[in-house]
Amino acid sequence: MTILALETSCDDTCAAVLDDDGRARSSVISSQHVHDRFGGVVPEIASRHHLELVNVVVDSALEQAGATLEEIGLLAATQGPGLVGALLVGLSTGKALAAARRLPFAPVDHLQGHVAANFLTDGDGGPFEPPFVCLIASGGHTLLALVTEHDGYEVLGRTLDDAAGEAFDKGARMLGLGYPGGAALEQLAAGGDPTAFSFPGSPGEVRRGAPRKAFAEGLDFSFAGLKTALLYATRELGSEQTAARAADLAASYQAAIVSSLITRSERALERTGLGRLAVGGGVAANGELRRRLGELSATVHVPERSLCTDNAAMIASAARYGRRLEYPDYLSLDAYATGETAR
């Protein structure tokens, strides 16, 4: 059954057509660079742009796939988590397209989508099959999941404060780079010494309150302390020295984020005894992370970059295995802003 999926949870308007065998026939991503000058995504502007773009993006996904609406057997869209106003554009469009043809509709959890990117058949061959540990590191989320089936996962650890991508973006801003800053910080770090500054790579303590079980066991993430350490370092150095040592600061900061991701992934692999790790989210585009992943003594699967960052092919992939509702049961579905629906 051919699937048409939409993803509008943040600032990318995405649509994709997926074949029966899990091969994406098209995956169209329209990024709204209009937010860059605000240093972050402005929800109201994001919703408005999704509205303007969504029909064009759906049309081009169909066109690039050489498909027509008549051929589509299942519609899907991200239901949450994300910006509610933004999510509603994709969700309503998906429901309307399904209802017009009395087709079934699959509401998809965005994080399940990042996991399901690993089930796609890509250029390198077949899908990566469960069981595996999955590290998702993006601008909005950072978590380790235990994936034993195609539909659902168990959360092993998550960030207690900022997401890894958010840490990259905030660090980039402190070093005078634009938004989003992950890729720019990586570029700057390439000319620097990762051992020049010692930043907290893996915060061993929770500063307030009792540690949660997962944190005590070391599977939760925390990036707030690291961000503060960079802020203090730049204050101590002063603006002139900060500029002169920007590459060293970037390299040390990046090494700390990557180490935090790698250490916990390694621990999760040890604890589960699975020996298989999949990755997702925009931070998976980072060369230093990819290099360190390659050093792990595990079978590691990293989807191609365009499937790591937000896209609709991963939503279609999740829809292939997930819950689907018949017409008209999905008409009253609403978007949700937060929370993981781990099953």
Quote the tokens at residue 281: 């989210």
**Site mask for ligand KG4 (CB under 6 A), range 64-93, x = bound:** ------------------------------
**281 near ligand KG4, rule: CB under 6 A:** yes
User: Among Zn ion, ligand KG4, none, what does residue 180 contact (CB within 5–8 Å per kind)?
Assistant: ligand KG4
CB 278 within 8 A of CB 78: no
**Site mask for ligand KG4 (CB under 6 A), range 168-207, x = bound:** xx----------xxxx--x---------------------
User: Among ligand KG4, Zn ion, none, what does residue 98 contact (CB within 5–8 Å per kind)?
Assistant: none
CB 326 within 8 A of CB 145: no
CB 281 within 8 A of CB 84: no
Q: Residue 297: which residues within 8 A CB-CB, separation 6 or more? A: 275
For CA atoms 49, 52, 53, 55, give the dihedral sign. Answer: positive
Contacts of Zn ion in 121-140 (CB under 5 A): 138
Q: Work out the burial of residue 64: count CB atoms within 10 Å of its CB; fewer than 13 is exposed, 13-18 middle, 19 or more buried.
A: middle
Name residue, tokens 């502007």. Answer: 45
Q: Residue 48: which residues within 8 A CB-CB, separation 6 or more? A: none
**Site mask for ligand KG4 (CB under 6 A), range 2-41, x = bound:** --------x-------------------------------
CB atoms < 10 A from the CB of 17, how many? Answer: 27
Quote the tokens at residue 43: 């929800």
Q: CB 201 → ligand KG4: shortest distance, Å?
A: 16
User: Among Zn ion, ligand KG4, none, what does residue 183 contact (CB within 5–8 Å per kind)?
Assistant: ligand KG4
Kindly indicate which of the ranges 78-86, 100-108, 226-234, 306-314 contains the residues binding Zn ion, using the contact rule CB under 5 A: 306-314
142-159: burial string, b at 16+ Cβ within 10 Å, e else: bbbbbbeebebbeebbbb
Kindly indicate which of the ranges 35-43, 52-60, 246-254, 304-312 contains the residues binding Zn ion, using the contact rule CB under 5 A: 304-312
**109 near ligand KG4, rule: CB under 6 A:** no
Q: Residue 335: which residues within 8 A CB-CB, separation 6 or more? A: 79, 80, 82, 84, 87, 88, 91
Which candidate, 159, 160, 167, 154, places its Cα nearest to that of 230? 167
**310 near Zn ion, rule: CB under 5 A:** yes
Pick the closer one to ligand KG4 by CB: 248 or 330: 248
Cα separation, 325 vs 179, in Å, equals 38
Q: CB 153 → ligand KG4: shortest distance, Å?
A: 17
Contacts of ligand KG4 in 300-339 (CB under 6 A): 309-310
Binding-site member from 107, 127, 140, 171 for ligand KG4 (CB under 6 A): 140
User: Among Zn ion, ligand KG4, none, what does residue 286 contact (CB within 5–8 Å per kind)?
Assistant: ligand KG4
Q: Which residue is nearest to Zn ion (CB)?
A: 138
Compute the radius of gyration of the chain from its Cα atoms.
Answer: 20
Q: CB 138 → Zn ion: shortest distance, Å?
A: 4
Pick the closer one to Zn ion by CB: 79 or 272: 79
**Count of residues near Zn ion by CB under 5 A:** 2
Return residues touching Zn ion (CB under 5 A): 138, 310
Q: Which residues bind ligand KG4 (CB under 6 A)?
A: 10, 138-140, 165-166, 168-169, 180-183, 186, 281-283, 285-286, 309-310
